[in-house]
C-alpha cells in the first residue's frame, strides 16, 4: 500500500510541477507584455513615467509635418490630438492608409529628449468607421511637401 | 469534482460574464478626447450652400451638434438617414441646432452627396484644408461633438450616430445642465 | 420577392424552433413518443426553411435587389458574380443567418442519424438544439435582420469591403462557422448525458465523428484566415494574434484537448468530468468566437458593426447558456464515478493528461491576452494592448512540449509501461532527435528554439515512421502479404490510429514552416526607380516598369519586377496598389512567388516622385509548408473519421 501511496504522490507532484511551470510561464510573460495606449496629451504629461517603455500613441498626423530623409525610407512626423504634439521617427514602409492629416497609432518607445521612435505604424480602418482619408488635392499637396523635403 | 473546483469554475464563468456586461458599455473605438469639457474652438467658414458663412459662436445659448463628415466616407452614408430624421425631429427646438463640417472634401462632391442621399437642411461648413478638424482633434469620420450653450464641448461620439442617440445620450446631458 | 420568401420562412422557422425546444420536454415528462417525433419533424422543417431563407438572400444579391438594405450595403452592380453570391456572409446579419442555417442542417443530420441509436439522449439533444436555434433566430429576425427593406432603394449598392473581395476571405467564414456550429452537437449530447445521468461513454462514441469533423473544419477555417492575411493584408505575416484570430484559436485548442482526452474515457473510463468540462468549454468558446467578433465588445481588423441592443441580447443568451451548462456540470458531476486511478507516469493516459495541461494552458494564455485589455478598459480609463511577443513567448515552449509529447504519446502503452521496453522503443529516435539538435546550428539554424524544434521534429518523425514500419513488417510476416499490401491493410484496419498519426506528421510539416517563416524571415524596405536592382537572399530583383491597370471595380498602379536567381528561370512579379471605385480606400496586392523552399513577397508602397516608388520585400523560408501541413492534417482527420465503431466492441 505504501508504494501505491508513493506512486500517487509522484504522479500528483509531476502534474503540479508541469502545471505550475506552465502557469509561471504564462504569468511571467504577461507582465511586461502589456502596451498601454496614450493620447499625445497624456504622453506628454507622463513623459518621465513612460520613459523607455513600449507604448502606443494615437492621434493624427499633423498636416505639413511629414518629412522624409532623402533617398531612405526614414520619415519624421508630428502626431497630434489638437492639444499636444509628439515628434515621431520611423524607418520603413508605411501602411496604405497612412497620410498627413489622418488618424494613426504608433507603437514604440519614447526616450526623454529624443523623438518617439516607432517600430510599428498602425493605420486603423474598420468596416463602420472610416479614418480620415485624403481627397485628390490633399494627396497632391502632401506629395508637394514631400518633394520639397527631398530637395 | 470537489467543492473548491466547483466554486472556482463558476466564479471564473461569472467573472467573465460580468466583464462582458461592463465591457458592453465601452465602445472600443472611443479614444478619450482631451477636448471634452473644454471650450470648443470657434470657427467661421464658408457654407456649402448659400453665401452666409457658418460660425459656431453664433449659436451661443443653444446646444450645438457638430457633425464631421465627408463625401468620401462610407459610414457617413450609413449615418445619414439618422441625421435627416434628427434634423426633422428637432426642427422646432430652440435650444438645439445642428451643424455639419464637411472636411477633406471638395464642395462639389459634397453637394452631390447631399443631392443623392437627401439634404437634412442644416448648415454645413466647408473645411477642405481640415483646419477645423485638426483644431478639434478629429481622428476619422464620422465624428460628432455636442457643444453646450456656453460653448464647451460636452460629449464626443466616434463613428456613426445610432438611432435613439439623441434621446439616450444627448437629452440626459441637456436636461442635467438645466437642473 | 425573394427576400419576402426568405423573411417569411425564417419567421416560420423561428416558431418551429420554439416547438423544437418544448415538444421533447413534453414528450419526456408525459412519456409520449409522439411529441418527440413531432420535434424531429420540426428539426427537418427548420432546416428546409432556413435553406430556403439563405437561398432567398443569395438570390436577392444575384438580382442586385438594392431595395434590401443588406444587399445595398454589401454589393454593387460592378461586383463580380462570385463575390455577389458570397457577399451573403460579407456582413454581420448575413453571417448570423449562415451560422443558423448550418446549425439547423447539423441538427437535422443528428436527428436523422442518431434517432435509432440514441433514443434516450435524443429528446434532450433536440430540445437543447431547439433552444440554440431559437436564440439565434430571435437575433436574426428581430435584432440583426438581413431582410430589412429600404424605402427609397439606391441605384447602386455600396460594394463589398475590398479586403473581403478575395477567395481566402470568401471561404474563411463558412469553414470557421462549420467548426463552431459542429461543436453544438457533441455539446448537446454531453448535456443530455448529464441530464439523464448517463455520463458514461455513450455520448462520446456517438459524437466522435462530430468532434473530428468540427475540429477539421475549424482547422481549415483558421488556415484560410491565415492564408488570407498572408495574401491580402500585405505585411508578410500570416498570424497577428488579433482578437478575432484568437477567438477561433481557443476552441481549436480545447477541441484538440478534448479529442485526445476522450480516448482515455473510452479505454479506461477516466476523465469523465474533465471531458464534459472540455466540450462545454469548447462550445462556449465557439459562441464567444462568434459573438466577440459580432457584438463589438472587441474591435479589430475584421470586426463588424456595433450595436448596444444586440450586445445586451447576446450577453443574456451567453449567460443563460453558460450558467445552465456549467451549473448542471457542477450539480451532477458527483454522480460520475471515476473508478480506475492513474497507475504510472509512464502510461498513455498520463501522457494525455500532460497533453491536456499544455493545451488548456495555451487556451488560458489566449483567453487572458484577449480579455485582459477589455478588463483594463472597463475598470479604468487606460487602453492597453497585448502584443505578439507575449503569445510567442508562451507558445514556443508549449509547442515544443507538445512536440515532445507527440513523439511519446502514440507509442506508450495504456496503464503502465516497463522502463526497459520504453528504452528499447525510444532510444534510437531519441538519439536521432538529439543529434538533430546538435547539428541544426551547424546547418544555419542558429536559434535555440529553432534547433530544439528541429531535433523534436526528427524525434517525432522517427518514432512515427518506425512504428509504421514495424507494424507493416509484422503484418507482412503474419499474413504473408507484400509490403504495400500489408501497409494498406494496416492503415485501413485501424483508420483512427493511422489517421491520427497522419495528423501528427502534418503537424511536423507545419512546425517546420513556423520555424522557417518565424525565425528566418528577411525583410527589406527601399525605393526603386525604373531599372534599379536589389538583392535579397540569392534573388536579384529589377524594377522593369510601372503600369496602370483596371478591372471592373478597381484601378491600380502595377509594378513589373523581374526576379532572377542563378540557375533558375526568370520570374515576373506584379505587385499592385488598388483603388476600388465605390470605396476610396487604397489596398495593396502583394506579388508572391511561392516555392517549397521559400516565398518571395513584394509589396508596392507609395510613389514618392516621378518614377520612384517605395517597396517592401520579404523572403520567407518554408511558408508553403504551413499550408501543405494543414492539408495533411485535415486529410488525417478525415481518414480517422472513416473509422466506424467497430473498434469499440473490443474494449472491455
pLDDT of residue B179: 47
Q: Which helix (H) or strand (E) holds C28?
A: helix C2-29
State whether A128 and C305 contact (CB < 8 Å).
yes
Give tens-digit pLDDT for C96-133: 899 999 999 999 999 999 998 888 899 999 999 999 99
* Residue B1 banded pLDDT, cuts 50, 70, 90: low
pLDDT of residue C361: 92
pLDDT of residue B74: 61
pLDDT at A141 > cutoff 60: no
Terminal Cα-to-Cα distance of chain B (whole angstroms): 57
Chain B residues near residue A80 by CB distance under 8 angstroms: 134, 137
State whether C312 and B24 contact (CB < 8 Å).
yes
Distance from CA of C326 to the nearest CA of B (A): 7
Give the 3-state secondary structure of residue B97. Answer: strand
* Residue B3 banded pLDDT, cuts 50, 70, 90: confident
Backbone angles phi, psi at B140, to 5 degrees: -160, -170
- To the nearest 10°, the Cα dihedral for C639, C644, C650, C651? 80
Distance from CA of B63 to the nearest CA of C (A): 25
State whether C383 and B31 contact (CB < 8 Å).
yes
| C309-315: long-range pairs with CB below 8 Å, 24+ | C309/C143, C310/C139, C310/C143, C310/C144, C311/B24, C312/B24, C313/C138, C313/C139, C313/C143, C314/C139, C315/B17, C315/B20, C315/B21, C315/B24
Backbone angles phi, psi at A32, to 5 degrees: 95, -15
Backbone angles phi, psi at B129, to 5 degrees: -90, 5
ipTM of the complex: 0.76
pLDDT of residue B147: 92
Chain C residues near residue B16 by CB distance under 8 angstroms: 371
As a whole number of angstroms, the distance between CA C565 and CA C573 comes to 13
As a whole number of angstroms, the distance between CA C10 and CA C104 comes to 12
Q: Is residue C616 within 8 Å of residue A93, measured between CB atoms? A: yes
CATH number of A36-150: 2.40.50.140
Q: Which residue of A has its CA nearest to C585?
A: A97
Distance from CA of B179 to the nearest CA of A (A): 31
Q: Is residue B163 within 8 Å of residue B85, measured between CB atoms? A: yes
As a whole number of angstroms, the distance between CA C642 and CA C492 comes to 9
As a whole number of angstroms, the distance between CA B1 and CA B8 comes to 11
Give tens-digit pLDDT for A110-120: 888 888 998 88
pLDDT of residue C102: 96
Q: Is residue C226 within 8 Å of residue C238, measured between CB atoms? A: yes
Domain boundaries, chain A: 1-33, 36-150
Given a cut of 50, the residues of chain C with pLDDT beneath it are 295-306, 646-652
Dihedral (CA of C167, C173, C178, C183) sign = positive
Cell of C131: 433552444
Domain boundaries, chain C: 1-160, 162-343, 418-483, 522-624
* Number of H-type helices and E-type strands within chain A: 4, 8
Round the CA-based radius of gyration of chain B to a whole number and report it.
20
Q: Is residue B54 within 8 Å of residue B124, measured between CB atoms? A: yes
- Mean pLDDT, residues A28-41 taken together: 80
pLDDT of residue C584: 56
pLDDT at A60 > cutoff 80: no
Does the CB of A126 have a partner CB in chain B at under 8 Å?
Answer: yes
Task: Among A39, A83, A138, select the one facing B31 at the smallest CB separation.
Answer: A39
* Residue A146 banded pLDDT, cuts 50, 70, 90: very low
Chain A residues near residue C615 by CB distance under 8 angstroms: 93
Q: How many residues make up chain C in this entry? A: 652
State whether B75 and A134 contact (CB < 8 Å).
no
Distance from CA of B59 to the nearest CA of C (A): 32
Give tens-digit pLDDT for C270-307: 888 899 999 999 999 998 888 766 544 444 333 333 45
Burial A93-124 (b: 16+ CB within 10 A, else e): bbbbbbbbbbbbbbbbebeeeebbebeebbbb
CATH fold, domain B34-178, is: Glutaredoxin (3.40.30)
Residue C603 contacts by C-beta under 8 Å, 6 or more apart in sequence?
A93, C234, C236, C575, C588, C590, C615, C616, C617, C618
pLDDT of residue A3: 65
* Residue B98 banded pLDDT, cuts 50, 70, 90: very high
pLDDT of residue C349: 86
- Mean pLDDT, residues A12-27 taken together: 86
Does the CB of A46 have a partner CB in chain B at under 8 Å?
Answer: no
State whether A150 and C609 contact (CB < 8 Å).
yes
Amino acid at each position: 500500500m505504501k508504494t501505491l501511496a508513493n506512486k500517487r504522490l509522484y504522479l500528483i507532484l509531476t502534474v503540479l510541477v508541469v502545471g505550475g511551470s506552465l502557469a509561471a510561464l504564462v504569468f511571467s510573460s504577461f507582465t511586461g507584455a502589456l502596451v498601454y495606449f496614450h493620447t499625445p496629451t497624456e504622453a506628454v504629461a507622463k513623459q518621465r513615467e513612460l520613459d523607455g517603455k513600449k507604448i502606443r500613441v494615437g492621434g493624427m498626423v499633423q498636416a505639413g509635418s511629414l518629412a522624409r530623409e532623402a533617398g531612405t525610407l526614414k520619415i519624421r512626423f508630428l502626431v497630434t490630438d489638437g492639444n499636444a504634439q509628439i515628434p515621431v521617427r520611423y524607418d520603413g514602409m508605411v501602411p496604405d492608409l497612412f497620410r498627413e492629416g489622418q488618424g494613426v497609432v504608433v507603437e514604440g518607445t519614447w526616450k526623454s529628449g529624443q523623438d518617439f521612435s516607432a517600430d510599428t505604424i498602425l493605420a486603423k480602418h474598420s468596416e463602420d468607421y472610416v479614418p480620415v482619408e485624403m481627397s485628390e488635392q490633399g494627396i497632391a499637396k502632401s506629395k508637394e511637401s514631400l518633394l520639397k523635403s527631398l530637395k | 469534482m470537489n467543492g473548491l473546483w466547483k466554486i472556482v469554475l463558476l466564479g471564473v464563468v461569472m467573472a467573465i460574464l460580468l466583464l462582458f456586461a461592463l465591457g458592453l458599455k465601452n465602445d472600443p473605438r472611443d479614444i478619450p478626447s482631451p477636448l471634452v469639457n473644454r471650450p470648443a474652438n470657434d470657427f467661421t467658414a464658408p457654407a456649402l450652400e448659400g453665401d452666409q458663412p457658418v460660425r459656431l459662436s453664433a449659436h451661443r445659448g443653444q446646444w450645438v451638434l457638430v457633425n464631421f463628415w465627408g463625401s468620401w466616407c462610407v459610414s457617413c452614408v450609413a449615418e445619414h438617414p439618422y441625421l435627416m430624421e434628427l434634423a426633422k425631429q428637432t426642427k422646432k427646438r430652440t435650444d438645439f441646432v445642428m451643424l455639419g463640417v464637411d472636411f477633406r472634401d471638395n464642395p462639389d462632391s459634397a453637394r452631390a452627396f447631399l443631392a443623392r442621399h437627401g439634404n437634412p437642411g442644416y448648415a454645413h461648413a466647408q473645411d477642405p484644408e481640415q483646419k477645423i478638424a485638426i483644431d478639434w482633434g478629429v481622428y476619422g469620420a464620422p465624428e460628432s461633438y455636442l457643444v453646450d450653450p456656453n460653448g464647451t464641448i460636452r460629449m464626443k461620439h466616434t463613428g456613426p450616430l445610432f438611432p435613439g442617440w439623441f434621446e439616450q445620450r444627448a437629452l440626459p446631458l441637456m436636461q442635467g445642465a438645466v437642473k | 420577392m425573394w427576400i419576402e420568401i426568405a423573411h417569411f420562412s425564417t419567421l416560420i422557422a423561428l416558431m418551429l424552433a420554439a416547438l423544437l425546444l418544448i415538444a421533447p420536454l413534453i414528450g419526456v415528462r408525459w412519456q409520449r413518443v409522439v411529441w418527440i417525433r413531432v420535434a424531429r419533424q420540426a428539426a427537418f422543417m427548420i432546416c428546409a426553411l432556413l435553406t430556403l431563407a439563405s437561398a432567398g438572400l443569395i438570390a436577392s444579391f444575384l438580382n442586385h435587389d438594392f431595395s434590401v438594405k443588406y444587399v445595398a450595403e454589401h454589393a454593387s452592380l460592378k461586383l463580380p458574380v462570385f463575390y455577389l453570391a458570397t457577399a451573403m456572409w460579407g456582413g454581420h446579419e448575413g453571417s448570423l443567418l449562415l451560422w443558423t442555417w448550418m446549425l439547423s442542417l447539423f441538427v437535422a443530420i443528428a436527428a436523422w442519424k442518431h434517432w435509432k441509436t440514441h433514443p434516450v439522449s435524443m429528446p434532450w439533444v433536440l430540445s437543447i438544439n431547439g433552444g440554440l436555434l431559437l436564440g439565434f433566430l430571435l437575433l436574426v429576425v428581430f435584432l440583426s435582420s438581413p431582410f430589412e427593406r429600404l424605402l427609397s432603394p439606391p441605384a447602386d449598392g455600396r460594394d463589398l469591403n475590398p479586403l473581403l473581395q478575395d477567395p481566402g476571405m470568401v471561404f474563411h467564414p463558412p469553414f470557421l462557422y462549420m467548426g463552431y456550429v459542429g461543436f453544438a452537437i457533441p455539446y448537446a449530447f454531453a448535456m443530455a448525458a448529464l441530464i439523464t445521468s448517463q455520463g458514461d461513454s455513450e455520448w462520446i462514441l456517438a459524437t466522435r465523428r462530430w468532434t473530428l469533423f468540427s475540429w477539421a473544419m475549424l482547422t481549415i477555417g483558421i488556415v484560410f484566415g491565415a492564408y488570407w492575411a498572408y495574401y491580402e493584408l500585405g505585411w508578410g505575416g500570416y498570424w497577428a494574434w488579433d482578437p478575432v484570430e484568437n477567438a477561433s484559436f481557443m476552441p481549436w485548442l480545447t477541441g484538440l484537448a478534448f479529442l485526445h482526452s476522450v480516448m482515455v474515457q473510452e479505454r479506461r473510463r477516466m476523465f469523465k468530468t474533465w471531458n464534459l468540462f472540455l466540450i462545454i468549454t469548447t462550445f462556449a468558446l465557439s459562441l464567444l468566437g462568434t459573438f466577440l467578433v459580432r457584438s463589438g465588445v472587441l474591435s479589430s481588423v475584421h470586426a463588424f458593426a456595433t450595436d448596444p441592443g444586440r450586445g445586451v441580447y447576446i450577453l443574456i443568451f451567453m449567460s443563460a447558456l453558460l450558467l445552465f451548462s456549467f451549473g448542471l456540470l457542477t450539480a451532477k458531476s458527483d454522480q460520475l464515478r471515476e473508478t480506475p486511478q492513474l497507475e504510472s507516469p509512464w502510461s498513455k493516459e498520463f501522457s494525455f493528461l500532460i497533453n491536456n495541461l499544455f493545451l488548456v494552458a495555451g487556451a488560458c494564455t489566449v483567453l487572458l491576452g484577449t480579455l485582459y485589455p477589455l478588463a483594463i478598459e472597463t475598470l479604468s480609463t487606460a487602453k492597453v494592448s497585448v502584443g505578439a511577443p507575449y503569445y510567442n513567448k508562451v507558445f514556443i515552449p508549449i509547442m515544443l512540449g507538445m512536440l515532445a509529447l507527440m513523439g511519446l504519446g502514440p507509442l506508450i502503452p495504456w496503464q503502465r509501461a516497463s522502463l526497459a521496453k520504453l528504452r528499447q522503443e525510444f532510444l534510437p529516435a531519441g538519439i536521432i532527435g538529439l543529434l538533430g539538435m546538435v547539428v541544426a546550428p551547424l546547418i544555419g539554424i542558429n536559434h535555440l528554439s529553432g534547433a530544439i524544434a528541429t531535433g523534436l521534429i526528427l524525434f517525432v518523425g522517427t518514432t512515427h515512421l518506425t512504428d509504421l514500419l514495424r507494424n507493416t513488417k509484422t503484418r507482412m510476416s503474419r499474413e504473408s502479404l507484400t509490403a504495400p499490401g500489408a501497409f494498406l491493410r494496416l492503415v485501413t484496419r485501424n483508420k483512427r490510429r493511422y489517421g491520427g498519426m497522419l495528423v501528427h506528421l502534418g503537424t511536423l510539416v507545419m512546425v517546420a514552416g513556423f520555424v522557417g517563416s518565424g525565425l528566418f524571415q528577411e525583410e527589406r524596405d527601399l525605393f526603386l526607380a525604373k531599372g534599379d536592382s536589389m538583392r535579397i537572399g540569392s534573388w536579384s530583383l529589377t524594377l522593369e516598369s510601372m503600369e496602370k491597370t483596371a478591372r471592373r471595380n478597381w484601378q491600380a498602379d502595377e509594378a513589373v519586377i523581374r526576379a532572377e536567381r542563378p540557375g533558375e528561370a526568370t520570374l515576373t512579379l506584379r505587385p499592385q496598389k488598388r483603388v476600388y471605385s465605390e470605396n476610396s480606400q487604397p489596398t495593396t496586392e502583394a506579388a508572391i512567388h511561392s516555392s517549397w523552399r521559400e516565398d518571395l513577397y513584394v509589396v508596392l508602397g507609395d510613389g514618392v516622385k516621378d518614377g520612384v516608388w517605395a517597396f517592401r520585400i520579404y523572403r520567407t523560408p518554408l511558408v508553403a509548408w504551413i499550408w501543405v501541413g494543414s492539408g495533411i492534417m485535415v486529410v488525417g482527420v478525415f481518414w480517422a473519421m472513416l473509422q466506424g465503431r467497430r473498434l469499440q466492441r473490443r474494449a472491455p
